[in-house]
C-alpha cells in the first residue's frame, strides 16, 4: 500500500530533525539501537572535550555544573520527578546495576517482571541474588491488569520491574495503570524506559525510571540516567556517600564520567523538549503505523505489532527459510538500509524465533519505508 506523505503528520518536525543532522550515508531505520545526533549535540560534546584539554578535566566539569543541573531538571520533568531525583550514569544497564547494588535486597527476594523481559535485565536481577517471577500477560505480551492486581493483592513481590517498550517488539506496556496498582499495594515500580524515553509518555507515576541517551533522545552513546523518588533513594546505600549538601542519589554518579557525553545528552533533551514531546510522539506513532501498513505481508514478512500501536518500532517475522541476520546484512550492504536483526536470546521467555526490527525517527519518510519493502 502507498501512503500519502501528510499521513505522517507534523512534517515540519521531520524537516527540522533532518536538517539539524549530518546527512546519512543511507536510510537509517534503526533508532531503537542508536539514533543520529544533531550538529549541536555533536558540537557541544566536542566543545566540552576541548575544554577538558584546555582547562583540565575537573575544572571543565565544574564549568558545566549549571548546564548539567538544568539537564537533570528537564529529564526529571519528563518522568515526573525533580532534579534531585536524577543521576547521570553510563547506560541503562549501568543504571539498573547501580539501583540493585544500592538497594542491597536479601538473596532470594522475589521480584516480578514480564515473561518477555530483556535478557540482560533478567541476568542483572539474578546476579543481584533476586528471584524473577513472571507477571501475567495477554497474547501480545502486554501486562494483564486484572492478573497484576490479583498478584499484588495475594502474593506481592518486593518490587515490579516493567520494561515499558521491549527491544524485541514495539508493544507499549500499560505502565500508568501498573504504577497505580503498585502504588495502591505499596509495591515499588521500576520502569525500564530505554526504548520509551523520548518515544512515548514516561511521566506515569513509576517509583524508579532508568534509560539511555543514545536511542530516542538522540544523545551520545555512553550516557544514561537513573531517576528515583526520595522514598526509594532513602533505601539505597551507596559505596561512598555524597557530601551533605548534595542530593543523595548523586552518590550513584561516577566520578570517572564521560562528562562531554552528559553535556551532549542535555542538549539533545533540550532539542526534544523544543520540538514538543506530544508532537514528537504523534509523528513517531504515525511512522510506526505507516511502516506496518507498507511492510505487512511483503515477500511473506509479517508484522508483529497491531497496526495502531503508538510506537515507531515495527518488528517483522521472516517467511520460512529466510535468515534474518543475512537479510539485515544484505539490506545494509546492497541497499544502505540500517535495521536490526534480533534473535530469540534477547527475550527467550517470549520470542519463538528471530525478527527484523525497523525503527525510524522523525526524519523518516514513506519513501524510506517503501524502499525497505522493495528491498525485502
**pLDDT tens-place string over residues 88-105:** 999 999 999 999 999 999
CATH number of 41-274: 3.40.640.10
**pLDDT tens-place string over residues 106-161:** 999 999 999 999 999 999 999 999 999 999 999 999 999 999 999 999 999 999 99
Query: The pTM is what?
Result: 0.96
Which letter does DSSP use for residue 143 in this model? B
Fold of 5-29+276-375: 3.90.1150
Which letter does DSSP use for residue 165 in this model? B
pLDDT band at 1 (very low <50, low <70, confident <90, very high): very low
Cell numbers that stand for 44 in this block: 557541544
Point out the least confidently predicted range of 25-29, 69-73, 241-245: 241-245
Q: How far apart are CA 148 and CA 238, in angstroms?
A: 31
End-to-end CA distance of the chain: 15
- Domain-wise residue ranges, the chain: 5-29+276-375, 41-274
In terms of Cβ atoms closer than 10 Å to its own Cβ (0-12, 13-18, 19+), residue 184 is exposed
Q: How far apart are CA 32 and CA 195, in angstroms?
A: 6
Residue 108: HSE in the Cβ half-sphere, 13 Å Cα cutoff: 0
Mean pLDDT for the stretch of residues 165-186 = 98
CA 198, 212, 316, 341 dihedral sign is: positive
For the chain, the average pLDDT equals 96
CA 191, 350, 218, 290 dihedral sign is: negative
Cell numbers that stand for 91 in this block: 547506560
**pLDDT tens-place string over residues 192-222:** 999 999 999 999 999 999 999 999 999 999 9
Does the pLDDT of residue 52 top 80, yes or no? yes
Q: Quick one: pLDDT at residue 336?
A: 98
**pLDDT tens-place string over residues 29-41:** 999 999 999 999 9
- For 250-278, give the DSSP string: GGGS-SS--HHHHHHHHHHHHHHHHH-HH
Q: What percent of the chain lies above the pLDDT cut of 90?
A: 95
Does the pLDDT of residue 6 top 50, yes or no? no
Does the pLDDT of residue 2 top 60, yes or no? no
* Residue reference for cell 525485502: 376
Q: Quick one: pLDDT at residue 5?
A: 45
**pLDDT tens-place string over residues 246-302:** 999 999 999 889 999 999 999 999 999 999 999 999 999 999 999 999 999 999 999
pLDDT band at 81 (very low <50, low <70, confident <90, very high): very high
Q: Quick one: pLDDT at residue 145?
A: 98
Amino acid at each position: 500500500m502507498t501512503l500519502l506523505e501528510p499521513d505522517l503528520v507534523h512534517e515540519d518536525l521531520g524537516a527540522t530533525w533532518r536538517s539539524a543532522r549530518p546527512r546519512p550515508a543511507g536510510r537509517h531505520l534503526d533508532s531503537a539501537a542508536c539514533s543520529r545526533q544533531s550538529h549541536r549535540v555533536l558540537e557541544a560534546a566536542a566543545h566540552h572535550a576541548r575544554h577538558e584539554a584546555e582547562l583540565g578535566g575537573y575544572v571543565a566539569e565544574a564549568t558545566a555544573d549549571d548546564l548539567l543541573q538544568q539537564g537533570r531538571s528537564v529529564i526529571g520533568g519528563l518522568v515526573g520527578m525533580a532534579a534531585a531525583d536524577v543521576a547521570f550514569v553510563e547506560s541503562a544497564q549501568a543504571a539498573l546495576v547501580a539501583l540493585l547494588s544500592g538497594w542491597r535486597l536479601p538473596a532470594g527476594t522475589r521480584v516480578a517482571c514480564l515473561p518477555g523481559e530483556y535478557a540482560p535485565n533478567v541476568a542483572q536481577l539474578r546476579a543481584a541474588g533476586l528471584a524473577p517471577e513472571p507477571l501475567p500477560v495477554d497474547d501480545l505480551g502486554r501486562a494483564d491488569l486484572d492478573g497484576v492486581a490479583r498478584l499484588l493483592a495475594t502474593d506481592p513481590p518486593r518490587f515490579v520491574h516493567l520494561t515499558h517498550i521491549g527491544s524485541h517488539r514495539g508493544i507499549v506496556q500499560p505502565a500508568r495503570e501498573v504504577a497505580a496498582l503498585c502504588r495502591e499495594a505499596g509495591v515499588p515500580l521500576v520502569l525500564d524506559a530505554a526504548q520509551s524515553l523520548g518515544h512515548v509518555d514516561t511521566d506515569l507515576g513509576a517509583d524508579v525510571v532508568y534509560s539511555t541517551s543514545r536511542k530516542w533522545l538522540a544523545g551520545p552513546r555512553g550516557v544514561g540516567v537513573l531517576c528515583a523518588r526520595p522514598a526509594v533513594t532513602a533505601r539505597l546505600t551507596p559505596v561512598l556517600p555524597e557530601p551533605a549538601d548534595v542530593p543523595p542519589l548523586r552518590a550513584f554518579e561516577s566520578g570517572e564520567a564521560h562528562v562531554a557525553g552528559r553535556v551532549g545528552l542535555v542538549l539533545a533533551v533540550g532539542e526534544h523538549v523544543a520540538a514538543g514531546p506530544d508532537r514528537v510522539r504523534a509523528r513517531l506513532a504515525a511512522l510506526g503505523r505507516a511502516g506496518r501498513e507498507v511492510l505487512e505481508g511483503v515477500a511473506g514478512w509479517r508484522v508483529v505489532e497491531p497496526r495502531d500501536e503508538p510506537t515507531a518500532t515495527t518488528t517483522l517475522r521472516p517467511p520460512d527459510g529466510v535468515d534474518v541476520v543475512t537479510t539485515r546484512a544484505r539490506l545494509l550492504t546492497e541497499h544502505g538500509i540500517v535495521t536490526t536483526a534480533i534473535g530469540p536470546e534477547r527475550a527467550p521467555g517470549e520470542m519463538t524465533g528471530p525478527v527484523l526490527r525497523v525503527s525510524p525517527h522523525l526524519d523518516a519518510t514513506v519513501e524510506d519505508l517503501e524502499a525497505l519493502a522493495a528491498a525485502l
